[in-house]
Structure 1
Amino acid sequence: MEKDYQKILQLLAKKRKEKGVTQYDISQKLGLTESGYFKIEKGTTRLDIMRFIVILNFLDVSPKDFFQELEETLALDIYKNNL
């Protein structure tokens, strides 16, 4: 389960970077310090569902698209591990 959570956080960071959004930008949207958001992205602080939805909306990424890409990423990892 922890490995899947880390994949979610990695994909979230990837999406943020693709959109050219900084950790500071998201921290301001969430009412956190930049350090507070950094801890979420690194997995030190748990990401709750409401903040997750706010982040996706801020990045203009639908939950459906996010989880579809996550599923493809996980499937690729499984494939690579079975080679």
Structure 2
Amino acid sequence: MQCGSSRPRLIPYELLTAREREVLQLVAEGRTSAEIASQLFISPRTVEGHRANVMRKLGLQNHTEIVKYALKRGILPLDE
């Protein structure tokens, strides 16, 4: 008999909202909160909230880890 839930396990990236994925990509590209806010028509504070959610959901601690994660997942191409 198996223990546990019958629901499939999601990988952390799948837990991100579409907006969080956008912010993840733009942060990994090196954009500032102000630049991201302007591009997405949201406030810089909202960008920071999305960034914090991304970091929490993915278990990331800093900007460098965001970039490394994006490279590993193919979100940020190596050749740019």
**Larger RCO of the pair (alpha carbons < 8 Å, separation 6+):** 2
Q: TM-score when scaled to structure 2?
A: 0.37
Q: TM-score when scaled to structure 1?
A: 0.36
The higher radius of gyration belongs to 2
* Higher fraction of helix: 1
